[in-house]
């Protein structure tokens, strides 16, 4: 997909395609659309990042709360977004041993208790071992550090999702 095709999209088409580049936050995509036409796909990412960076801490926490627990209830119930399903599968989170699932569940719980939002990591750039190691390490952070780290990870996820779309993967068939 090239930027000219993106700039020709209606608001609804843009939301259909880019609505989940930030997990379950189509409002961000909707706000960014008002800045079109875009000069490049990277320009879309930049507008998204600017939007996020200008949010107060509570807004950034809200973005993090939209993310599912890794290998959590949404994965086992099949209610993850398509993007999250693929990312968690690629990281090996769909083939955990019973012990690994219990460990990850405990870490998820400890993390959410301490910070008030789910642990977010770019699963596509990781694996189950690195994820558990990162969770243990990041549990030592203070809340302001962890908010920044979580948002950094959201931006990595966004970047990879936009790149995937730019390669034509995940596009609605009508476009």
* CATH code of the region 68-150: 1.10.3330.10
Q: What is the pLDDT of residue 173?
A: 47
pTM, two decimals, is 0.94
pLDDT at 1: 85
Residues 6+ apart with CB under 8 A from 172: 13, 16, 17
Q: What is the pLDDT along the chain (175 residues), one digit of tens a residue?
A: 899 999 999 999 999 999 999 999 999 999 999 999 999 999 999 999 999 999 999 999 999 999 999 999 999 899 999 999 999 999 999 999 999 999 999 999 999 999 999 999 999 999 999 999 999 999 999 999 999 999 999 999 999 999 999 988 766 645 5
Q: Provide the residue ranges of all domains of the chain, joining segments of one domain with +.
A: 68-150
Closest-CA residue to 2 (of 158, 165, 161): 165
Note the pLDDT of residue 169: 75
Q: List CB contacts of 24: < 8 A, sequence separation 6 or more.
A: 66, 67, 81
Q: How far apart are the first and last CA of the chain?
A: 10
Query: Which residues are identified as catalytic?
Result: 67
Give the model's pLDDT for residue 171. 62
């Amino acid at each position: 997909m090239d930027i000219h095709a993106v700039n020709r999209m209606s608001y609804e088409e843009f939301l259909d395609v880019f609505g989940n580049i930030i997990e379950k936050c189509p409002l961000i995509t909707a706000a960014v659309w008002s800045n079109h036409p875009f000069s490049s796909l990277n320009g879309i990412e930049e507008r998204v990042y600017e939007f996020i960076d200008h949010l107060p801490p509570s807004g950034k926490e809200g973005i993090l709360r939209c993310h599912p627990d890794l290998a959590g209830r949404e994965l086992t119930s099949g209610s993850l977004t398509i993007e999250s399903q693929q990312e968690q599968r690629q990281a090996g989170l769909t083939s955990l041993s019973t012990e690994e699932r219990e460990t990850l569940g405990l870490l998820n719980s400890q993390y959410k208790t301490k910070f008030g939002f789910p642990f977010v990591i770019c699963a596509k750039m990781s694996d189950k071992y690195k994820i558990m190691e990162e969770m243990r390490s990041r549990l030592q952070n203070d809340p302001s550090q962890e908010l920044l780290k979580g948002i950094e990870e959201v931006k990595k996820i966004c970047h990879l999702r936009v790149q995937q779309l730019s390669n034509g993967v995940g596009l609605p068939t009508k476009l």
